[in-house]
Amino acid sequence: MSLAALKAHADRLGGASLRDIVDGRGPALSDWVFSAAGIELDLTKQRLDADALASLLEAADSLELAHHRDTLLSGGVVNPTEGRPALHMAYREGAKISGTDAADLVARTQAQTREFAQAVRSGTYQPSGKAITRVVNIGIGGSDLGPRLIADALAEFADGGPEMRFVASLDPSDLRLAVDGADPETLLFIVASKSFSTQETLMGAEAARAWLSAHVPADRLGGHFAAASAAPQKAAAFGIPAERVFDFPDWVGGRYSVWSAVGLSLEIGLGPDVFAAFRAGAQQMDQHFASAPLAENLPVLKGLIDAWNRVALGYPSRCVAAYSARLGKLADYLQQLEMESLGKSVTLDGAPAPTAGGALVWGGAGTEIQHSFFQWLHQGKDIVPVDFIGVKRHFASADARERALAANMAAQGAALLDGRQLSEADEGELASHKSMPGGRPSAMLLLDDLNPQTLGALIALHEHKVFVEGVVYGINPYDQWGVELGKVLTAGILKGETKEYDASTKALLDRTGFGGW
């Protein structure tokens, strides 16, 4: 992105009162609120005006954003370091994709997972003569965060399916808690790993198999496992029959994989119809992203605004405040989606990136977070844009608690915007302690209601806005080489190959008596 014009706008607006900017929108205030696929994006409290937004859209045109978007949606290579397309959208309900092989694989896999999910849910699948009552997903990163978020968010829509539990940590207590109180003969473990070699997932699967072997005869063990993987041979070697290894192709990134066979635990626990509605909502946002003008396009606008806050205004982080208990894990999910995608410092051609990459993303669920880090947001030295995510229905709910939840969300946005200035005449020597500077920008994402369709649309919106930011920064949002180094060093430590390690790390291993394997 050429920064000259944007920096000029940032300098012009940086010292202005945010309240004056917002009030100055006048009758045009409604022009800063955009809607699609059951989601409303309110940008009225952002630190930019019509001229700055016009410059952002001009920058998008100069970067050929529409062309890059079309390349993504048509199955072109958008991950050049690995020579791959990003075809996670092919799994959305009703998606139209190019490439017969991809289309056939998606159709085949979806038919297979639906059939298996229905067999488990109906009780006809009985590996040890009993119906499955609990499904345990073993995975990490996108193979865990996505299913875990969706399971929580859509729990109210589950229709009599097995209970869902999740294992991600190497800490043995994670598995113990997941199987606690269960009849081993009614458990199904789903191993979600593209390579079927991810350390945390493979060790978790091995521990689950060892635990189960104490309760289930050896010839039945395999029946209690299924997998989502691109390595069926490794899954077979583990003991999972081929008919229960569902394709997880290499053109689906882990953090974009919840739509694929990685969502099998959801298809079983929530039901195939709920999972299909979730994917259909995402497809609605895909269609909006593909066809809406850039100036009215929710993912485009959100990506450009986040890039503006990061690059032009220099805000290093963004807070996600979800005002719904069911979205309690949304910040964790978006943290991985955005930071693993945009945490890069080189451009597509390997040159140093001329701008900062994506922001640090963090947050939690309101109103609990108002009693933890909101103090820092209001009176800390750093300015952090906040994304408020809520449910529009709550504002007019008959339930006083839902109305109070909505009121709290609206009040926090107003407080961050306006702050409070108190005079010493009124407050004495405590005036400065009780004052808040305000001027903190925020955006609001309102779902018409929280249901499978709007949740799917919300996640797809963020997937696409990450792509938009990747274009702005000139980086590849679909690789994650930074994850690999730690894996290599871990393997060296476990093998005792630490000769080249730094003195501090070697001293730590000596002091703690670490013995490797």
Q: Could you give phi then psi for residue 420, rounded to 5 degrees?
A: -155, 125
Q: SS3 of 507, please?
A: helix
Q: Find out whether the peptide bond into 109 is cis, omega within 30 degrees of 0.
A: no
**Dihedral-angle region of residue 370 (phi above 0 means left; psi in -120 to 50 means alpha; beta otherwise):** alpha
Q: Which of 371, 381, 433, 499 is catalytic?
A: 371
- DSSP string covering 171-233, please? SHHHHHHHHTT--GGGEEEEEE-SSS--HHHHHHHHHHHHHHHTTS-HHHHGGGEEEEES-HH
Alpha helices in 47-183 (DSSP H): 50-62, 65-73, 100-122, 142-153, 172-179
Q: SS3 of 322, please?
A: strand
Q: Which of 338, 340, 463, 469 is catalytic?
A: 340
Q: SS3 of 447, please?
A: strand
Q: Tokens 């991809």 belong to which residue?
A: 102
DSSP structure class, residue 95: -
Whether 288 is catalytic is no
Whether 302 is catalytic is no
Whether 464 is catalytic is no
CA-CA distance, 234 to 195, in Å (whole number)? 8
Q: Tokens 């959305």 belong to which residue?
A: 92
**Please, what's the b/e burial string for 16-33 (b: 16 or more CB within 10 A of its CB; e: otherwise)?**
eebeebbeeeeeeeeebe
Q: Residue 477 has which token pair?
A: 């949002």
> What distances in angstroms separate CA 327 from CA 150, 323, 331, 379, 389, one per listed residue?
9, 8, 8, 26, 9
Q: Which of 67, 130, 487, 495 is catalytic?
A: 487
Q: In one letter, which amino acid is 321?
A: A
Q: Residue 74 has which token pair?
A: 């048509």
Residues with active-site annotation: 340, 371, 487
